[in-house]
């Protein structure tokens, strides 16, 4: 873990995160973690995409989404759309301050962070987007959000260890159980509104968003998903929704659970993500 803490001030909103510098001429990776995790999700010792990216020459930033870590919580509308609006400005600040000599940005999003990355890729931006790599998100949920709808949307809950084992991790032989303790610093309460949206409105919105994305897409869904229907057919159908993208690589990640980054299969998948990002500026 070699990342430095950063703070981006956007008027009355603050976004925090971590960053590690790479070589000139490489894409900037901007990582968005999922529900229940702060920016350190991508920088857990022994399972760090940030370290892997830095060793490969990339500059990489992992952001605390609104309401996570030191980032200002959203008021009023708590939604993926609003997350994307705030993060568009934060990424613009990053780009203008430090990275405008880079060839462009590659978004890396996990779970709810993946949904928000797709919102960003489908919307208006003030910085150059090269491509997007997302994991742990789909539009065919295994979980109902009915039990959460009656709770205040601005309230938050913390996942218990039992919930993490049930939903975030695969079978015992797919990960080292010690990773849950190592990754404890990356856990954060998740707003109820995010859990309601990801199993509801997101599944309705996805197809329209996907059809507006005009950059290459890289997508992976774990074999042992706790939240989504995972099959070769469901992964292929998700990939086919990106009708305007010049290329789509979509596959099922065998031997992993929802938090694929923290499984034995994570390191190989990180390499795949980094190879995808490299190919956006140096096609094979």
Domains of the chain: 4-279 (3.40.50.1820)
Could you give the angle at the alpha carbon of 217 between the alpha carbons of 213 and 222, nearest 5°? 125
Confidence at residue 145, expressed as pLDDT on a 0 to 100 scale = 66
Residue that the structure tokens 């993490």 belong to: 164
User: Are the beta carbons of 14 and 70 closer than 8 angstroms?
Assistant: yes
User: Are the beta carbons of 53 and 60 closer than 8 angstroms?
Assistant: yes
Confidence at residue 284, expressed as pLDDT on a 0 to 100 scale = 42
End-to-end alpha carbon distance in the chain:
30
Confidence at residue 282, expressed as pLDDT on a 0 to 100 scale = 66
How many Cβ atoms are within 10 Å of 250's Cβ, its own excluded? 19
The model carries a pTM of 0.95
**Helix ranges, the chain (H):** 49-55, 80-94, 112-122, 161-163, 179-182, 192-198, 201-210, 232-240, 266-279
Q: What Å distances lie between residue 44 and 83, 91, 228, 273, CA to CA?
A: 24, 23, 24, 17
Q: What is the mean pLDDT of each run of 10 residues along the chain (284 residues)?
A: 86 95 93 98 97 96 97 94 97 87 94 98 96 97 69 85 96 97 97 94 97 98 96 97 98 97 98 97 62
Q: Is 67 left (phi over 0), alpha (psi -120 to 50) or beta?
A: left
Cα-to-chain-centroid distance, residue 144:
22
């Amino acid at each position: 873990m070699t990342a430095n803490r950063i703070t981006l001030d956007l008027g009355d909103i603050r976004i925090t995160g971590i960053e590690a510098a790479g070589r000139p001429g490489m894409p900037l990776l901007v990582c968005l973690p999922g529900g229940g995790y702060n920016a350190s999700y991508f920088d857990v010792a022994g399972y760090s995409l940030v370290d892997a990216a830095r060793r490969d020459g990339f500059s990489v930033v992992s952001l605390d989404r609104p309401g996570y870590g030191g980032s200002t919580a959203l008021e009023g509308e708590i939604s993926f759309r609003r997350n994307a609006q705030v993060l568009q400005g934060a990424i613009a600040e990053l780009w203008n301050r430090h990275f405008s000599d880079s060839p462009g940005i590659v978004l890396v999003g996990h779970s709810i962070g993946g949904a928000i990355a797709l919102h960003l890729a489908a919307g208006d931006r003030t910085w150059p987007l090269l491509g997007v790599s997302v994991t742990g998100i789909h539009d065919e949920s295994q979980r109902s959000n009915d039990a959460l709808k009656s709770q205040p949307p601005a309230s938050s809950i913390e996942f218990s260890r039992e919930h993490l084992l049930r939903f975030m991790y695969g079978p015992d032989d797919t990960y080292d159980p010690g990773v849950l303790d190592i990754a404890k610093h990356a856990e954060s309460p998740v707003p109820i509104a995010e859990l309601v949206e990801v199993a509801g409105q997101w599944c309705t919105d996805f197809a329209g968003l996907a059809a507006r994305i005009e950059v290459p897409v890289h997508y992976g869904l774990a074999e042992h998903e706790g939240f989504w229907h995972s099959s070769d057919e469901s992964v292929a159908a998700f990939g086919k929704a990106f009708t305007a993208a010049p290329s789509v690589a979509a596959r099922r990640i065998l031997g992993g659970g929802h938090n694929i980054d923290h499984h034995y299969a994570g390191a190989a998948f990180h390499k795949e993500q980094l190879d995808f990002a490299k190919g956006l500026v140096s096609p094979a």
